[in-house]
Amino acid sequence: MNRREFITLVGGAAAWPVAARAQQPDRIRRIGVLLNVPEHDAEAQAWLTGLRQGLEKLGWVQDRNAYMDVRSAAGRADQFPVLAKELVAKQPDVILTHAPPSTSALQRETRTIPIVFVAVSDPIGPGFVASLARPRGNITGLLTFEQGITGKWLAMLKEIAPHLERVALVGNPATTNYDYFQRTAEAAAQSLMVKLIPYRVATAADIEGAIIGFADVANGGLLLPPDTTGVRNRDLIIALAARHRLPAVYPFRFYVADGGLMSYGVDQVEMFRQAASYVDRILRGGSPADIPVQAPTKYTTVVNLKTAKALGFEVPSSLMVRADEVIE
């Protein structure tokens, strides 16, 4: 079916009687969504809104010609395989996944249903795709960060805190590709003459213990990789950083909007909106094996001046010039 025929069908569908549409189940395309964070989280709601807006712009309207079935593991690693099995059992036309754990769980369940990922930084390492240009399997999607991102984060910390000597990398290996970020951060830390200290956490109590223990020694800073456990506990992390006057760099803007010091990363709402185009291509007959993985085209720098002042740091002009947004 070409695009003109499809638009004609959709336009005509709006005028069909409800009973007639009910007799056309083949017109409804099923889109599974597996999130890592709780569905009721404000950020998760914004992501889903971006996805729906992107789909509607491409002609896919909820309950008219598409149905989106959303599941959330809420950061619980034991729920990924359970929810992946449930979604696959429903045989959707395509599944959108958020972050490596949900993508991995779905890959174990199906090698035929198309999968589109977002918030994955290393799809080759875990075997999601053969290459970025030619995925070759049933999975493709959008990268969140490229390999050199940890160097950018560490350089920002060193820039705002010139006496920085130690950096804690706090993340949950069950909900992020922790080894990938540790490996790339260690190489960058050496060039900046900073000692990287890994903290593998799983719970809020782990996070609190790690940051409190790390803060006992001066000249430290925090590095938070994109991690569902971090997102769920962002208020705790931001409060601990403030209490112990630790400079911290975060992967997403919403940390800074909530009181964090600074971030450098992609707009996740926009990423979900862009993911709609991948879903659209697959629903129209495209194969994920032939759809290249998309690298980020824009990173944004956000700085919270109020937080910097409270922590006792002066934001250098070089960082202020580069900032896309300054929160005062």
Angle, helices 234-243/204-214, rounded to nearest 10 degrees = 20
Residue 323 is part of a domain; what is its CATH number?
A: 3.40.50.2300
Statement to judge: residues 307 and 175 lie in one domain: yes
pLDDT value for 246 = 98
Tell me what the mean pLDDT of segment 215-241 comes to. Answer: 95
Q: Which residues contact 302 (CB under 8 A, 6 or more apart)?
A: 253, 256, 257, 262, 263, 264, 323, 324, 325, 326, 327
pLDDT value for 175 = 87
pLDDT value for 77 = 84
Residue 295 within any structural domain of the chain = no
pLDDT at 160 over 50: yes
* pLDDT tens, position by position, 2-38: 333 333 333 433 333 333 333 334 579 999 999 988 8
Statement to judge: residues 13 and 104 lie in one domain: yes
pLDDT at 279 over 90: yes
Q: Which residues contact 297 (CB under 8 A, 6 or more apart)?
A: none
Statement to judge: residues 209 and 274 lie in one domain: no
What's the CA gap between 97 and 111, in Å, rounded?
Answer: 14
Statement to judge: residues 176 and 251 lie in one domain: yes
Residue 27 within any structural domain of the chain = yes
Torsion over CA: 19, 281, 47, 175 (sign): positive
The residue that leads in pLDDT, 76 or 198, is: 198
* pLDDT tens, position by position, 54-96: 999 999 999 999 999 999 998 788 999 999 999 999 999 999 9
Residue 114 within any structural domain of the chain = yes
What's the CA gap between 101 and 174, in Å, rounded?
Answer: 7
Statement to judge: residues 184 and 241 lie in one domain: yes
**By C-alpha distance, which of 277, 322, 278 is closest to 299?**
322
Structural domain containing residue 261: 149-265+300-327
pLDDT value for 20 = 32
- The predicted model scores a pTM of 0.86
Statement to judge: residues 273 and 251 lie in one domain: no
Count of domains observed in the chain: 2
What's the CA gap between 210 and 223, in Å, rounded?
Answer: 12
Rounded to 5 degrees, φ, ψ at 132 are -70, -35
Statement to judge: residues 260 and 272 lie in one domain: no
* pLDDT tens, position by position, 99-135: 899 999 999 999 999 999 998 999 999 999 999 999 9
Statement to judge: residues 102 and 169 lie in one domain: no
Residue 139: how many CB atoms within 10 A of its CB?
Answer: 28
Mean pLDDT computed over every residue of the chain: 90
pLDDT value for 26 = 56
Rounded to 5 degrees, φ, ψ at 191 are -70, -25
Statement to judge: residues 137 and 172 lie in one domain: no
pLDDT value for 169 = 98
Statement to judge: residues 137 and 275 lie in one domain: yes
State whether residue 277 is helix, strand or coil: helix
Statement to judge: residues 275 and 127 lie in one domain: yes
Report percent pLDDT > 90 for the chain. 82
Residue 113 within any structural domain of the chain = yes
Among the residues of 143-216, which ranges form H helices? 149-160, 178-191, 204-214
pLDDT value for 27 = 73
| pLDDT classification of 193: cutoffs 50, 70, 90 | very high
Statement to judge: residues 181 and 317 lie in one domain: yes
